[in-house]
Amino acid sequence: MFAGQSDAFPKPEDVTITEPVELSGEDGTTLRLIFIFMHSNELGGPPVEILHQLNAKELVSLAQAAQKYLLPNLVAFYRLNRARVKEMPIEAFAYATKNELSHLAGIAAPYVVAESLKPPPINGNATVQHSVGEVLRKAEIPQAMLLAWFEFRDHYLRLAEAILVVPKPHVNSKDRVHNCGAWDPYTDSILAGLPRTTFALARVVAHRGIADTLDGRWSSLESRELLGDCQLCKKRVDAWEEAVGKALGAMRTFKGLLPQHVLRLGARNSDRGYWIVS
């Protein structure tokens, strides 16, 4: 059975020793899962529902064992849906980047950004941002992917700054600051439900997604009506939209930030038959 599903195991006729061979590095749970999945694959495919019952540590162990024993149909994270990756983004990202699985890393990357921007624990000495960075470094993620992720996170921070730093009001020739009374209600309408600090807003955008967080905010007719006929406020809105649009235009997917040699590795691994349930 093993030889028929993986080149890592010899065929029975090729075995010349009779002593048991220890499978080192895996605990009993992982080995039991490997046997279950290899057996069920002969019966028509592994039961995906089992994967949804495993915790993050068990999934990582199973996925790593699948890589080790050359079992492409058993790469656990590629049988997870997006919701499970959201539950364990750091583990999924570390596994994906160490194995050059750029598609899976791209799914996990925004959720890792959100994790890194969580507020520090009460009375904690280290920020969560620092902790996540250290976890990724200790996970021995390839340098190119780690640098790409830090740049990816910076894009969310720059977008959050563009959203929160509104253009200054018009000042006339007599040094009077324009205040028609329309601007504050307008900005409250645009930013309704959003945090008003950079880290907190970047975290929300990374976790929810850009479209789900921002779509329709500046194009809302209801919000525009709050400006009335004030052309100075409308020019201010145009400048604000331009700044946000520029930040959005500069953003890239995680995969889009990876060097070409890493993308070629990822494409090669994707061709092995790994797939994801989305």
Q: Residue 220: helix, strand or coil by DSSP?
A: coil
Task: Please tell me the number of Cα atoms within 13 Å of 33 on its side-chain side.
Answer: 26
Better-predicted residue by pLDDT, 267 or 196: 196
pLDDT (0 to 100) of residue 220 = 83
15-26 residue pLDDT tens: 566 555 565 667
User: Could you tell me the pTM of the whole model?
Assistant: 0.75
The Cβ of residue 63 has, within 10 Å, a number of other Cβ atoms equal to 27
Most confident residue range from 3-7, 12-16, 198-202: 198-202
Mean pLDDT, residues 269-278 taken together: 37
User: What is the C-alpha separation between 31 and 37, in angstroms, rounded?
Assistant: 10
Is the Cβ–Cβ distance between 97 and 190 less than 8 Å? no
| Residue 24 or 145, more confident | 145
Give the CA distances from residue 234 to residues 63, 182, 245, in Å, rounded to whole numbers and listed in that order: 54, 10, 16
Q: What is the mean pLDDT of the chain?
A: 78
Which one is predicted more confidently, 158 or 220? 158
Q: Distance (Å, rounded) from C-alpha 232 to C-alpha 159? A: 24
Q: Rounded to the nearest 10 degrees, what angle do helices 128-138 and 89-98 cross at?
A: 30
40-73: per-residue pLDDT in tens?
554 445 566 677 777 777 777 777 777 777 666 5
Give the residue, 101 or 42, on which the prediction is more confident: 101
pLDDT classification of 3: cutoffs 50, 70, 90: very low
Q: Predicted confidence band at 8 (pLDDT cuts at 50, 70, 90)?
A: very low
Report the range of poorest mean pLDDT among 23-37, 94-108, 123-137, 257-271.
257-271
- What pLDDT does residue 248 have? 96
d(CA 111, CA 104): 12
Structure confidence by residue, pLDDT tens digits, 180-210: 999 999 999 999 999 999 999 999 999 999 9
- Whether 18 and 58 have beta carbons less than 8 Å apart is answered as no
